[in-house]
Amino acid sequence: MSESNERPDALATRAIHGGQHHEPVTGAVMQPVFQTSTYAQTWPARHTGYEYSRTQNPTREALERCVASLEEGAEGIAFGSGLAATEAVLHLLPPGAHVICGDDVYGGTYRLFTKVMAHRNLRFTFVDLTGTPADDAIPADADLVWLESPTNPLLKVADIAAIAARCKAVGALLAVDNTFATPVFQRPLTLGADLVVHSTTKYLNGHSDVVGGVAVARTAALGERMHFIQNAVGAVCGPWDAFLVLRGIKTLAVRMARHQDNARQVVDWLVRHPEVKRVHYPMWEGDPGHAVASRQMSGFGGMISFVLDADLARAEKVCASTRLFTLAESLGGVESLIELPASMTHASVPEADRRARGIEDGLIRLSVGIEDVGDLLADLESAFAASRS
């Protein structure tokens, strides 16, 4: 952010400069990689602000400041993965706490909540936070609401401001996974959320060469609690990973614009295709969440889900027949990816629960990259044709 009396820097500027300073010894423009585990002290417990790299690392701190700037929060806290950041949020809660979670979430989040943290005396209730009024969806005994918006993989949109107001009324924390939208298109803290979480593996890094996560706290007090958990639990982001994410963020604004432009053309193609039953993309006018998305988002990136009018075998064949869309999990890289949630990213969700939540066998998720969109459309057309034989 600008430190002058002029207007605050725009997000595209903060993506390049936010929270970062020229290295004071050499004047290096890019934040150096501080590949060190410990730091010299001039006297017992007297140091320059750095003593051990689990606790403080200059490269990681630059990343934390940068993402906090993008999300307009007080403190960023970087972790070794998105799930590590998610677990750290749960460590804020007392034993017996009640967590309300959206019913359409990343399969790894569902697995963490139901297979790990539920055995640590936390109670989880899964609710449709996009189709149920906040006052009905969030009971008075809620301690935390965990929200994805847009959700994974159905891209449903929740009214973050309304949910934040209900959380404030009942004294619950609100944490929003903003991985899909990124701060380029949505900033939940400005809508009342207490915490924002990202898998930095995805759009923030953007090049499919890092695994990491970050949380951003709206207040300094909450950020201090999260930093304590980060240090105590130890699942920190390494300096090389922090460096790579910082480098990726510098092109975040321009990448997201291209992801969005390509995705909108792919959506137009899918909507007209006779073999597609349904398309999920919140900035498409026909999407059920479009009205809410238009209020709280300035756009959307490259994530599209659609339902093929076919059985599981045909959907699998489509996914296996592309040339440019790589069949792989993850998302948010410059390259396009395709996957089948029922057997890949959401396989940890029991089949009955998947079907009840709308994750059909024919549901295909695309992460549209920044390649030439004509080539991407030709690739999809070829895969559809190959799957018919």
Catalytic residues: 54, 106, 177, 202
First-to-final CA distance of the chain:
56
Contact, 271 vs 279, CB < 8 A? yes
* Dist CA 107 CA 110 (whole Å): 5
Rg (CA), the chain: 21
The residue among 10, 34, 173 whose CA lies nearest residue 98 is: 173
The amino acid that residue 313 corresponds to is A
Nearest-10 Cα torsion for 40, 44, 49, 53: 60
**CA 102, chain centre distance (Å):** 14
The amino acid that residue 49 corresponds to is G
| Residue showing tokens 């606790």 | 55
State whether the Cα torsion 202-208-211-212 is positive or negative.
Answer: negative
The residue among 272, 362, 359, 377 whose CA lies nearest residue 309 is: 362
* Dist CA 256 CA 243 (whole Å): 20
